[in-house]
């Protein structure tokens, strides 16, 4: 997506969580190219250093979004650098465990929901006062195709992503009078190491080769292909831009139409 394609992004002050890899990094790159001022967090200091070197002017800080203290410290750093806030991209999440419900540990369940759902709450509660002070803005929450389909053997992940939809729709009603738009983006099968691990774990779970399991996944996608991190980033940028000024409480499937999981 060439710079200047979307209006209303230049000069926006945007926070992106888990912004040093995958969809988060693709989003940070696109927003930076569009003239946004970006602050991002991640748990990998090595990845953060790489982003700082690649994208001059982007503010980076280490933070685990499930940790209230770390989130507060990150927002202090971000707001000091940005001087305010116009947008929040709640991107952080983990794949969580693959297994039957009787096999999944309580710790793994909690960790998946703490990062994928509670982390969005912790970031949003700190962002909203600053969005209101700016006269409005936009929040984009990362859900998943798993947020609209039941997902056998991935129950913690699906529960978190369904929760994101409810969180998004509730916030849209609550924050709309303050001119704050809230939407969810639902990626499907996103090409990259994380999806490769999911497919590998599922293949091992049912005892088939990786290639066969990958084919099974893609047969459930109408377009018969994976999406890219850049595809998802483009949708996020659209929702932050002036083109999305009247869109709120929506769930945008960026998945080639995943028919079932």
Distance of CA 44 to the CA centre of its chain: 17
Decide: residue 31, CB within 10 A, 0-12 exposed, 13-18 middle, 19+ buried.
buried
State the catalytic residue, choosing from 151, 153, 157, 217: 157
Whether 157 is a known active-site residue: answer yes
User: Which residue do the tokens 């912790």 mark?
Assistant: 122
CA 99 centroid distance within chain: 23
Give the rounded distance of the alpha carbon of 195 from its chain centre: 15
Distance of CA 168 to the CA centre of its chain: 12
Residue given tokens 């994101």 in the structure block: 164
CB atoms within 10 A of CB 92: 24
Q: How would you class 176 by CB atoms within 10 Å of its CB: exposed for 0-12, middle for 13-18, buried for 19 or more?
A: middle
Q: What is the dihedral of CA 231, 168, 240, 127, to 10 degrees?
A: -120
What DSSP string describes 120-179?
Answer: HHHHHHHHHHHHHHTT-EEEEEE--GGGTS--TT-HHHHHHHHHHHHHHHHHHHHHGGGT
- Residues assigned a catalytic role: 157
């Amino acid at each position: 997506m060439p710079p200047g394609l979307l209006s209303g992004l230049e000069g926006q002050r945007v926070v992106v969580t888990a912004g040093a890899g995958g969809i988060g990094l693709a989003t940070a790159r696109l927003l930076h190219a569009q003239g946004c001022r970006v602050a991002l967090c991640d748990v990998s200091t090595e990845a953060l250093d790489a982003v700082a070197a690649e994208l001059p002017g982007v503010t980076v800080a280490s933070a685990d979004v499930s940790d209230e203290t770390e989130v507060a410290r990150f927002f202090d750093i971000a707001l000091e650098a940005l001087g305010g806030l116009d947008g929040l991209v709640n991107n952080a999440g983990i794949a969580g465990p693959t297994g039957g419900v009787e096999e999944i540990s309580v710790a793994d369940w909690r960790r998946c929901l703490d990062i994928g759902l509670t982390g969005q709450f912790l970031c949003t509660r700190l962002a909203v006062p600053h969005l209101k002070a700016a006269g409005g803005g936009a929040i984009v929450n990362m859900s998943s195709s798993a947020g609209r389909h039941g997902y056998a053997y991935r129950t913690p992940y699906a529960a978190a992503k369904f929760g994101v939809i409810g969180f998004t729709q509730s916030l849209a009603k609550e924050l709309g009078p303050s001119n704050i738009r809230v939407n969810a983006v639902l990626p499907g099968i996103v090409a990259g190491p994380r999806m490769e691990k999911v497919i590998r774990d599922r293949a091992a779970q049912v005892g088939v080769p990786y290639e066969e399991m990958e084919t099974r996944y893609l047969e459930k996608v109408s377009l018969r292909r994976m999406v890219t991190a850049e595809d998802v980033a483009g949708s996020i940028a659209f929702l932050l831009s002036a083109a999305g000024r009247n869109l709120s409480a929506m769930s945008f499937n960026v998945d080639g139409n995943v028919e079932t999981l």
